[in-house]
Amino acid sequence: MAFSLRSKPPLAGSARCFEAVPGPLLAAAMLRQQRETFALDLADVAAVLRIKLAYLAALEAGRPDELPGAVYAIGFIRAYADYLGLDGGEMLRLFRQGSTLLGVKPDLAFPIQLGDRSVPGGGMLLVALILAICGYGGWFYVSTGEGPRRERVAEVPLELLPSREPFRTPPAIPRLVEAQGPGHSSATEAGSGSGGRPAVTGSAVAVVPAATDPAPSPPG
């Protein structure tokens, strides 16, 4: 909400009355004289403008460097001058003549939205570099043809290899066959009564020849 006392005529010719006074003191005197012309208390003005009383007192004393910063000082000077019906731009120009705070132009840097074709940031460049290295490594791996080496298995010892000679059937062992005839008992009795020759006791042993492989027929 803007406050102004333009219903009463502003102080006229004040700048010409204080031509020999430095800029900050001239502006301070004009503010104080205009306020007193309207019979306003400085504390009431501070309450209306919501500015600390100490800051308005510093302006009326010609000490703008006591304000918290250049941006606040510019705003307070313009608001106070406009409220009293004075030219805020002129008051600001006078205060700047001998003020180190207001002499430096405030750096108002606002964030600028980058366009679609702006330069990529450091993070994007790092990701692109990593992808390029990975791509080159893959290309080098494929071009050299060096795949994973297979593990070599130890050779089988000669003792464990199968023999190439033909398999031969081992010779059969002769078997002893006991042959007993039906007249075994009678033969024994007859022997006992003949010529005193000892009778053959026991069983007759027959030798069975071992089975042999048939001889291969000669080629016709």
CA atoms within 13 A on the CB side of 70: 11
| Residue 68, domain extent | 23-103
- Give me the tens of pLDDT residue by residue for the chain, a chain 220 residues long: 455 555 444 444 444 555 566 788 899 999 999 999 999 999 999 999 999 999 999 999 988 888 888 888 889 999 999 999 999 999 988 888 877 776 655 555 556 665 555 555 677 888 888 988 988 888 877 777 655 556 666 776 777 766 666 556 666 666 655 545 555 554 444 444 445 454 445 444 555 555 555 555 555 4
The pLDDT assigned to 147 comes to 53
Q: Is residue 117 part of a domain?
A: no
155: amino acid identity, one letter:
E
Domain assignment present for 94: yes
Whether residue 25 contacts residue 56, with contact meaning beta carbons closer than 8 Å, is answered with no
Single-letter code of the amino acid located at 48: V
pLDDT on residue 139: 80
- Euclidean distance between the first and final Cα of the chain, in Å? 135
Burial label for 196, CB within 10 Å (0-12, 13-18, 19+), is: exposed
- Domain count for the chain: 1
Residue 66 included in any domain: yes
With left for phi above 0 and alpha for psi between -120 and 50, is residue 13 left, alpha or beta? left
**Are 84 and 34 contacting, i.e. CB atoms less than 8 angstroms apart?**
yes
CATH number at 88 reads 1.10.260.40
32 falls within a domain:
yes
Instruction: Return contacts of 69-76, CB within 8 angstroms, 24+ apart.
Output: 69/101, 69/106, 70/101, 70/102, 70/104, 70/106, 71/106, 71/108, 73/99, 73/101, 73/102, 74/102, 74/106, 76/51
Domain assignment present for residue 27? The answer is yes
Residue 98 lies in a domain: yes
Residue 37 domain flag: yes
Note whether 16 and 29 are within 8 A (CB): no
Quick one: DSSP state of residue 61? T
Q: What's the rounded Cα separation, in Å, for the pair 139 and 141?
A: 5
In a domain? residue 84: yes
Answer for the pair 53, 42: CB distance below 8 angstroms, yes or no. yes
Return the pLDDT at 9. Answer: 45
Two tokens, residue 58? 């510093």
Strand partners, 131: none
